[in-house]
Chain A
Amino acid sequence: MLELRSVSRSFNGTKVLKEVSFDVAPGRITGFVGANGSGKTTTMRIILGVLAAHGGTVRWRGQPITHPVRQRFGYMPEERGLYPKMKVAEQIVYLARLHGLSSGEAKRNTATLLDRLGLSARAEDPVEKLSLGNQQRVQICAALVHDPELLILDEPFSGLDPIAVENVLGVLREYAARGVPVLFSSHQLDLVERLCDDLVIISAGTIAASGSRQTLRTQHATPRFELVVETDAGWVRDQPGVTVVELDGARVVFDVASDAAAQPVLREAVSRGAVYSFGKVVPSLAEIFREVV
């Protein structure tokens, strides 16, 4: 478990992180979302020790993070970087060894990962000869090659083609399944929604919401319902205490004061004829995001 407690950080007197607290739990993929400049990258850099926190604590398994511990983290920075003239495999092996792996382990893990990400054929090419998408995959290899105990990925999907996205998604799920906590940031909310178990939403340096995806959806679910009937649903407008959000022939979406207040609408619908569908509308991540930030 990675725990951030009241982490703060300023640049030139401007506070960019204010009392940031959240957890990244083992075996769970935590999505970290927020607008540009909201503090995602700064937070990740503090976890990795690339930046110092000006206040608060970051703990891993209950202990402050020291250098040997941090060496076992996997990190993919937002600003990608590799040695352009170094060969793919050699580069990954080098990074693995910097993470403390023996030469044999480093080579084995590199071969496995390159194979996994479909890069085996390019192992002996210099990185600069690869397409941008493939360079991105090499970057992911660099973050994973030492079998990290914690994964911190800053925008891991940006620049990936759809096949590579699926590829990487699979790898991340695999790591989470092995009990590795995974924290990744993304502005592709649909991807975050599909992939993550937990969510942390940051806005202007403050955590606006955090928790499991399901909890957040329920928490931010307003009493909004969708009803589909056989004929025109226009009559719903005249129901007491109902605000129609959307009306499209036989389909209507409406807000009520509480969940209970929707039941009379359902009863009325049944009395008027066939009802094909009735249910509570759960907000999408994009909607929650818009609401909290």
Chain B
Amino acid sequence: MSRLAEGELLSSPAPGASPTAADGGARQSGFWAATRLVAHREIMTQIRGKSFWIGFGLLVLALLAGAILPRVFGGDDAPVVAVVGPEAAQAVRDTDLQPRPVDSLDEATALVRSGDVEAAVVSDPGSVTGVRVVAFNEVPLEVTAALVQTPPVDLLEPGAVSDGAVYAATFVFALVFFMFSLSGIGIAQSVVIEKQTRIVEILAATVPVRALLTGKIAAYSLLTFGQVGVLALVVPIALRIGEQEALLALIAPGLGWFAPFFILGYVLLAAMWATAGSLVSRMEDLGSSSSVVTMLVMLPYFGVTFFHDNDLLLTILSYFPFSAGLAMPVRMYAGDPQPWEPFASLGLLAATLVVCVLVASRIYTGALLQTGARVRLVRAWAGAETP
């Protein structure tokens, strides 16, 4: 039985009964009403699809794994070493190594051979350090490193954050930015489906074409921001489970800046994805028309991931609108930019966004009703139509 109940069928007026029945009701027209309907449909279509949840689930899993697994596998159990003699006991005392005092070298050697201990630390007056390490068949780096004495270091200008931490944070942001930017191809696909199935002609005859574009961008942006919001809740919990509060403390202050950059950056790419979709009429052709957008997503990702320690390149990337959303927050972690720089970069991004959306809107409108071969940009810009 259909969702439309029998009673509803019977009670509703026949088409002939009231020619202007619809006029009596609240006919909402206009751009924003249409935009809202389009956005609503796009969101419903997405969240009903399996691929949306699979993709999001995988991303959450990846981030959880990244936060928790190091603890599980890396283990914070310090290696156990057999200790022979007072000098050895003294040397091991100041380290994380877990000592297991034994009486003789033979006993220690047996423990090493049986694998019960990682290595044995034995007093040796002939050694410079006063101890010798006995291991099975390879140098136990963890043990030797623990025994090395480093002199105290005074940093004249200590960095706010360690390099390793900056790299970790960069990687997390880059991954999130990259995944979501790339998922913007869904917008392009949604545009192509409408062209490919030709429903676009009914849509264009009913609502302003720009409402279609705006609705799609709004829908995908909201979905993405919602997902990022969920991640923003999940990741701190995961980091706490993984006992990496230090990293959390590191990431948290930057989130404030990551958000506006991410939002503007995403909308900018969304407009470009939609334009790429409007230029072709078949899914198979989407790859060619969207290659430029794919590039604009990939380059900043790899650029920032690989060159995050190259100051000049990172500075340039932090102003280039397509990578600013990633490069500027990363620079800010390193405590490097002047206070005005994020504002300047954000302003540049916003200006680019406005220009791009206007251009995209015109190209989209010009290209949307042209079917067949891939539409040339010049023709789409001129708004040329074919019969």
- Residues of A near any B CB (own CB < 8 A): 11-12, 16, 41-42, 45, 48-52, 67-68, 70-73, 75, 77, 79-86, 89, 94-95, 97-102, 104-105, 107-116, 120-121, 123-124, 142, 144, 146-147, 149, 171, 174-175, 177-180
Mark B376-387 against chain A: 1 for CB-CB distance below 8 A, else 0: 000000001111
Contact indicator B201/A124 (Cβ below 8 Å)? no
- Report the minimum CB–CB distance from B38 to chain A (whole Å): 8
In the complex, what residues of A have CB within 8 A of residue B21's CB? 105, 147
Chain B contacts with A in 241-256, Cβ cutoff 8 A: none
Which stretch, B28-36, B168-176, B307-315, touches the partner chain A? Answer: B28-36
Which of B27, B193, B205 has a CB less than 8 Å from the CB of A70?
B205
- Which residues of A have CB within 8 Å of B201? 45, 50, 77, 79, 81
Evaluate contact between A113 and B198: CB separation under 8 angstroms: no
Q: Nearest chain B CB to A93's CB is how many angstroms away?
A: 10
Do the beta carbons of B197 and A51 come within 8 Å of each other?
A: no
> How far is B193's CA from A146's CA once the two chains are assembled, in angstroms?
24
Contact check, A102 vs B26: say whether CB atoms are below 8 A apart.
yes
Determine whether the beta carbon of A81 is less than 8 Å from that of B16. no
B3–A75 CB distance below 8 A: no
Check B15–A105 contact: CB distance below 8 A: no
Give the size category of B's interface with A: 35 or more
Give the shortest distance, in Å, between B369 (CB) and chain A (any CB): 6
Contacting B199 at CB < 8 Å: which of A72, A82, A123, A180? A82
**Is the pair A97, B3 in contact by a Cβ cutoff of 8 Å?**
no
Task: Judge if B338 is at the interface, Cβ distance under 8 Å.
Answer: no
B140: min CB distance to chain A, Å? 60
Contact assessment for B369 and A50 in the assembled complex, using a CB-CB cutoff below 8 Å: yes
Are the C-beta atoms of B9 and A112 separated by less than 8 Å?
Answer: yes
What are the residues of chain A within 8 A of B288 when measuring CB–CB? none
Residue from A71, A83, A109 within 8 A of B206 (CB atoms): A71
Assuming the A-B contacts A68-B29, A89-B4, A105-B22, are A97 and B15 also in contact, with contact meaning beta carbons closer than 8 angstroms in the complex?
no
Q: Mark B44-55, 1 if CB is under 8 A from A, else 0.
A: 010000000000
Q: In the complex, how many angstroms separate the beta carbon of A71 from the nearest chain B beta carbon? A: 5
Residues of B close to A11: CB separation below 8 A: 385-387
Chain A residues lying within 8 Å of B141, measured Cβ to Cβ, are none
Nearest CB in chain B: distance from A191 CB, A: 21
Tell me whether B2 is interfacial, beta carbon within 8 Å.
yes
Task: Determine if A111 and B19 form an interchain contact, defined as CB atoms under 8 angstroms apart.
Answer: no
Q: Give the one of A81, A82, A83, A114 with max B CB within 10 A.
A: A81
The 8 closest A-B pairs by CB, nearest first: A81-B198, A81-B199, A123-B2, A100-B27, A111-B4, A48-B205, A79-B198, A178-B19
Interface centre among A75, A99, A104, A112 (most CB of B within 10 A): A112
Residue numbers of B with Cβ under 8 A of A are: 2-4, 8-9, 12-16, 19-22, 25-30, 33-34, 37-38, 41, 45, 193-194, 197-208, 369, 371, 384-387
B2 touching A121, Cβ below 8 Å: yes
Q: Are B203 and A68 in contact (CB under 8 A)?
A: no
Determine the residue in chain A with the shortest Cβ distance to B5. A111
Residues of B within 8 A of A79 (CB): 198, 201, 371
B4 interface neighbour in A70, A120, A142, Cβ under 8 Å: A120
Which residues on the B side are within 8 Å of A113 (C-beta)?
15
Can you list 11 A-B pairs, Cβ within 8 angstroms, ordered by A?
A: A45-B201, A50-B201, A77-B201, A79-B201, A81-B202, A83-B194, A99-B206, A100-B22, A104-B25, A111-B9, A124-B3
CB-defined contacts of A107 to chain B, threshold 8 Å: 4, 8
Q: A108-B13, A110-B4, A178-B19 are in contact. List 7 more A-B contacts (CB 8 A).
A: A71-B207, A81-B202, A94-B41, A105-B25, A120-B2, A123-B4, A124-B3
* With contact pairs A81-B197, A142-B202 given, residues A89 and B3 touching in the complex (Cβ less than 8 Å): yes
CB neighbours (8 Å) of A94 from chain B are: 37, 41
Q: Contact: A171 with B15, CB < 8 Å? A: yes
Closest partner residue, chain A, to B209 (CB atom): A50
Q: Quick one: which of A52, A80, A123, A180 contacts B3, CB cutoff 8 A?
A: A123
Q: Is the CB of A16 within 8 A of B13?
A: no
Contact across chains for A51 and B202 when beta carbons are under 8 A apart: no
Of listed A94, A100, A101, residue having the most chain B CB within 10 A: A100
Q: Closest approach, in angstroms, between the C-beta of B332 and any C-beta of chain A?
A: 43
